[in-house]
Amino acid sequence: MPARLLPILVFVPILLGFTFSPREFAREHGGITRLSIATGNTGGVYYPYGGGIAKVVSESLPKIEVTAEVTAASVDNLKLIQLGKVDIAFALADTLADAVHGRGPFERTGPVAAQTLAVLYPNYTHLVTIEGNRIARIADLKGRIVSTGSAGSGTEVIALRVLRAAGLDPDRDIRRQALSVNASVDALKDDKIDAFFWSGGLPTASVLDLATSAGLTARLIPNDDVIPALQAAFGPGLYKRIVIAAGSYPGQTEDVPVVGVENALVVDGGMDEALAYDLTRTLFERQRELAGIHPEARHLAPARAVEGSPAPFHPGAIRYYQERGVWNR
C-alpha cells in the first residue's frame, strides 16, 4: 500500500519522486535543504519521535528544513528510501536486515542502500487482548480474529514470524486482519477482533487509550517463549527477551516478557557526509528535548547508538561517533 504522506509539526512542501541528492535539491531551492523523515502511523512512537527530530533539526541547522511524514512504518519507510521519496526513515532492525539483503518484502525490488545514523530504542512486541477473551498465550490465538498490523509495517513482519515460531499458520490458524494500531484498538473495543499485535516503544499512545477505556480491562500476553525459534531462524542478533515492566500501562500489575527488536534511524547511502554528520550530532545535542517529546528518546546515547543495526553506518555518522570515542570497529 503506498504511504499517505502528511506533514506534521514542521510544514515543508515535499517534492515526491526526486532523484537527486539533498545537496543538489538545496541548490535548486535557493540553498535551503528540505528533508523528509518517514515515521509511522499517528498512534505509535515513530510519529511523535520523528516530529521531534524534524523540529530540533530545523531549529539547529542553518538552511535545513525538515518534515516528518505519516506512513505505514518500517517496510513502507524503507521502500520510500529506495524510491528516493524520503531522506530519513525509522525502521525496525529485522525489517532493515531484510531490506539491505533484498529479501522478504524487498525480494522483488532488490537491496535497499540504507545506512544507519543511530540505533534509537528497543521495540516491545505487544500482544494485546481484553479480559474475558480467554487468551493467555500465543497458542490461544488459534481460530481467533487477530490483527497483525498494517500491511507494509514492521509489526506485520514480526507478528507473522512470532505466529510461525509458535507453530501457527497465519493464513490458516487465525482469522487475520491487517489493521493499524489505532484501528486495532477500536476493533478490540468494538469486539470485532479478539487480539492484536503491535511492535512499538513504551508507552504507545493507542495502547494507553485502550488501557484507560471504561468498561474493559486490557491484557498484555507474554510472547518471549518463541525467541529460541526466532533466533534459530534469523540469527542471534535481531531478537531478544525484554520486559514490559509492571505499571508501563494503567492496570498492568505484572511484568510481561516479550520479544524485543531494536529501532534504527537510517538515511539513503548517497546522503552527503557533512549533512549526515550534522544530523547525527544534532540528535545527541538535543537529546533532552527529544526525550521531553517522547520518553523513548531517553535511550538515545552514543555508546548505545552504535550497537544493533544490521545496516552499515553512514560515514558521516561514523565520524561523529569516532569523535565521541565510541566507534571501535
pLDDT over 90 percentage in the chain: 85
Q: How far apart are CA 52 and CA 46, in angstroms?
A: 10
Q: Are residues 143 and 70 in the same domain?
A: no
- pLDDT higher than 50, residue 24: no
Helix H or strand E encompassing 36: strand 33-38
**pLDDT (tens digit per residue) in 125-179:** 999 999 999 999 999 999 999 999 998 788 999 999 999 999 999 999 999 999 9
- Whether residue 65 lies inside any domain: the answer is yes
Q: Are residues 51 and 159 in the same domain?
A: no
Q: Are residues 114 and 127 in the same domain?
A: no
- Of 228, 244, 261, the position where a domain reaches its end is 261
pLDDT over 70 percentage in the chain: 91
- Whether residue 2 lies inside any domain: the answer is no
Per the structure, the complete domain to which residue 291 belongs is given by 7-121+264-324
CATH number at residue 163: 3.40.190.10
Q: Are residues 229 and 246 in the same domain?
A: yes
Q: How far apart are CA 105 and CA 307, in angstroms?
A: 24
Q: Are residues 162 and 245 in the same domain?
A: yes
Q: Tell me the mean pLDDT in the region 100-112.
A: 96
Q: Which residues contact 165 (CB under 8 A, 6 or more apart)?
A: 226, 229, 230, 233
- Quick one: cell of 22? 539533498
- pLDDT higher than 60, residue 118: yes
- Of 261, 286, 308, the position where a domain reaches its end is 261
Q: Are residues 223 and 244 in the same domain?
A: yes
Give the mean pLDDT of the chain: 91
- Whether residue 301 lies inside any domain: the answer is yes
SS3 246: coil
Q: Are residues 177 and 255 in the same domain?
A: yes
Tell me the C-alpha to C-alpha distance, in Å, between residue 51 and each of 11, 41, 205, 329.
10, 12, 15, 32
- Whether residue 242 lies inside any domain: the answer is yes
pLDDT-derived band at 43, boundaries 50, 70, 90: confident
Q: Are residues 128 and 243 in the same domain?
A: yes
Other residues' Cβ atoms within 10 Å of the Cβ of residue 288: 11
Q: Are residues 255 and 268 in the same domain?
A: no
Distance of CA 208 to the CA centre of its chain: 18
Q: Are residues 83 and 165 in the same domain?
A: no
| Residue whose cell numbers read 512470532 | 162
CA dihedral (59, 318, 107, 94) positive or negative: negative
Q: How far apart are CA 79 and CA 109, in angstroms?
A: 9
pLDDT of residue 13: 34
Q: Are residues 96 and 36 in the same domain?
A: yes
- Whether residue 197 lies inside any domain: the answer is yes
Q: Tell me the mean pLDDT in the region 279-285.
A: 99
- Whether residue 329 lies inside any domain: the answer is no
Please tell me the pTM assigned to this model: 0.85
- Whether residue 57 lies inside any domain: the answer is yes
**pLDDT (tens digit per residue) in 217-251:** 999 999 999 999 999 999 988 999 999 999 999 99
Tell me the C-alpha to C-alpha distance, in Å, between residue 285 and each of 27, 54, 134, 264.
27, 14, 48, 18
**pLDDT (tens digit per residue) in 48-82:** 999 999 999 999 999 999 999 999 899 999 999 99
Other residues' Cβ atoms within 10 Å of the Cβ of residue 108: 6
pLDDT of residue 16: 33
- Of 261, 285, 302, the position where a domain reaches its end is 261
pLDDT of residue 329: 84
- Whether residue 196 lies inside any domain: the answer is yes
| Burial status of residue 310 (CB atoms within 10 A of its CB: 0-12, 13-18, 19 or more) | buried
The count of structural domains within the chain is 2
Q: Are residues 73 and 18 in the same domain?
A: yes
Tell me the C-alpha to C-alpha distance, in Å, between residue 121 and each of 276, 282, 305.
20, 17, 8
